[in-house]
């Protein structure tokens, strides 16, 4: 599960970073390190990690501000490290967009367990979103606001439908099989039926296609899966 996963570790205490790096690399992660807020932002934008372990107290830019900035740009999982135990500090990190937090001093095995847990919840490609907005024909997706519009009309799209449509519109002409779409939408540890994708595709077609029986945007590739139709662009 961890093999090939890229993780950014940010803490101004180099001993802490070395210890975390040791445990994560032994578990198969590729580890990138930063020691202050500005470096964390630069490395996150340059390397596109899937998980970020981020200290709350950082020189240059605070961990909370780094978290808030990256959350607007990235779908990476963020785990905050904090020596503070006050409830408002933990809540502040979560409200800034963190997925979890670990209070110092912590066991490296506990942190590794938390990292594994957030990785299991990640879609297959939880990386930087790229453009905030992508359009194809009359269809427009805004990734920052999680909105889908058809012309000027705002559509009622569920979170799962949004992730499914977003995964496909980013790579028009690519043919996805059901397993690939399941991984991107639900994550690697999803144990449901792959045919669930067919249900979500049907629901999406009802919302975005003029004639769902003759789709323009999402087409079936028989015997394989689905593709976002390039001729709709």
86 SS3 class: coil
Domain that holds residue 198: 133-232
Whether residues 140 and 215 fall in one domain: yes
Q: Could you give phi then psi for residue 60, rounded to 5 degrees?
A: 90, -65
Q: Output the six-digit token pair for 132.
A: 């905030």
Question: Which CATH number goes with the domain that contains 173?
Answer: 1.10.10.10
The tally of domains found in the chain comes to 2
Position 128 in a domain: no
**Contact (CB, 8 A) for 119 and 50:** yes
Question: Which CATH number goes with the domain that contains 65?
Answer: 3.40.50.2300
Position 1 in a domain: no
pLDDT tens-digit profile, the chain (233 residues): 555 688 999 999 999 999 999 999 999 999 999 999 999 998 888 888 889 999 988 999 999 999 988 877 777 889 989 876 666 666 666 777 788 888 888 889 999 998 988 887 776 544 445 567 888 889 999 887 889 999 999 998 887 788 889 889 888 888 999 888 887 776 544 445 567 888 889 999 999 999 999 999 999 999 999 999 866 44
Residues linked to residue 102 through DSSP beta bridges, in sequence order: 81
Q: Output the six-digit token pair for 38.
A: 């500005």
Whether residues 194 and 174 fall in one domain: yes
Instruction: Judge residue 6's burial from the number of C-beta atoms within 10 Å of its C-beta, 0-12 exposed, 13-18 middle, 19 or more buried.
Output: middle
The whole model's pTM is what?
A: 0.55
Looking at 74, 100, 121, the residue that finishes a domain is 121
Q: What is the DSSP string of 169-199?
A: HTSTTPEEEHHHHHHHHH-TT--S-TTHHHH
Whether residues 97 and 197 fall in one domain: no
Whether residues 60 and 149 fall in one domain: no
């Amino acid at each position: 599960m961890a093999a090939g996963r890229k993780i950014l570790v940010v803490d101004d205490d180099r001993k802490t970073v070395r210890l975390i790096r040791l445990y994560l690399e032994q578990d198969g992660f590729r580890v990138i390190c930063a020691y202050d807020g500005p470096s964390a932002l630069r490395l996150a934008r340059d390397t596109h990690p899937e998980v970020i372990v981020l200290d709350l107290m950082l020189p240059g830019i605070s961990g909370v501000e780094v978290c808030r900035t990256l959350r607007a740009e990235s779908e990476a999982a963020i785990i905050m490290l904090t020596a503070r135990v006050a409830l408002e500090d933990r809540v502040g990190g979560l409200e800034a967009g963190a997925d979890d937090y670990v209070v110092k001093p912590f066991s490296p095995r506990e942190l590794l367990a938390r990292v594994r847990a957030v990785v299991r919840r990640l879609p297959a490609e939880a990386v930087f979103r790229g453009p905030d907005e992508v359009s194809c024909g009359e269809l427009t997706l805004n990734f920052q606001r999680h909105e889908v519009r058809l012309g000027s009309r705002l559509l009622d799209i569920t979170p799962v439908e949004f992730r499914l449509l977003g995964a496909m519109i980013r790579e028009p002409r690519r043919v996805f099989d059901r397993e690939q779409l399941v991984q991107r939408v639900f994550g690697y540890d999803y144990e449901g039926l792959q045919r669930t994708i067919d249900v979500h595709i049907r629901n999406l077609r009802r919302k975005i296609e003029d004639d769902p029986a003759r789709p323009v945007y999402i087409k079936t590739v028989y015997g394989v899966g689905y593709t976002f139709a390039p001729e709709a662009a």
